[in-house]
């Protein structure tokens, strides 16, 4: 009887420990996507959602073999004119969602070499100040897409 009660307590405890370990692991990345680009255009953008872990962190950079240069960018509007500029990092508060989206903060791809085609998938590695690297598959949506239709796989 005692071993049965002990095993009943161990199972929930293991679940709690797994949950705490996942939260302590840092931010997670999901729903990474990009819009298709026309032939001859060598720039594009990646949008995604970051869910903060148990402590504050900061996205500091990104990389992919699909582009020769990758920068973090934001769009600011002033006097009715939108201006894009490079930024050093993106704050990821603990437990909060940070959404990189069109007309806002995004990951800029430069030197694509060939157009992004709907249905294509490519890996993107994002680097966090504390949590290190995460790699996510970016799904290319049609040129007019407003967002992802399914979560991307995170590795």
User: What is the chain's pLDDT, residue by residue, as a tens digit (155 residues)?
Assistant: 555 555 555 555 555 454 445 445 799 999 999 999 999 999 999 999 999 999 999 999 999 999 999 999 999 888 888 899 999 999 999 999 999 999 999 999 999 999 999 999 999 999 999 999 999 999 999 998 887 754 444 44
Coil, strand or helix: which one is 46?
strand
The DSSP symbol for 108 reads: E
pLDDT at position 80 is: 85
The whole-angstrom separation of Cα 35 and Cα 100 is 13
pLDDT at position 4 is: 57
- Pick from 121, 124, 120, 130: which is nearest to 48 by CA? 124
- Pick from 82, 98, 92, 85: which is nearest to 58 by CA? 92
pLDDT at position 47 is: 98
- Per the confidence metrics, is the pTM higher than 0.85? no
108 and 63 Cβ atoms separated by less than 8 Å: no
């Amino acid at each position: 009887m005692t071993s049965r009660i002990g095993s009943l307590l161990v199972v929930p405890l293991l679940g709690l420990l797994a949950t705490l370990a996942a939260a302590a692991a840092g931010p997670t990345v999901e729903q990474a996507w990009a819009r298709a680009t026309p032939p001859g255009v060598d720039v594009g953008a990646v949008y995604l959602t970051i869910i903060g872990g148990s402590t504050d962190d900061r996205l500091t950079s990104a990389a992919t073999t699909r582009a020769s240069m990758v920068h973090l960018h934001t769009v600011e509007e002033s006097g009715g004119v939108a201006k894009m500029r490079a930024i050093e990092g993106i704050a990821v508060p603990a437990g909060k969602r940070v959404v990189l989206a069109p007309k806002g903060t995004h990951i800029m791809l430069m030197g694509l070499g060939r157009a992004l085609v709907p249905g294509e998938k490519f890996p993107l590695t994002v680097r966090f100040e504390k949590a290190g690297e995460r790699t996510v598959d970016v799904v290319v949506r049609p040129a007019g897409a407003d967002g992802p239709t399914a979560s991307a796989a995170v590795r």
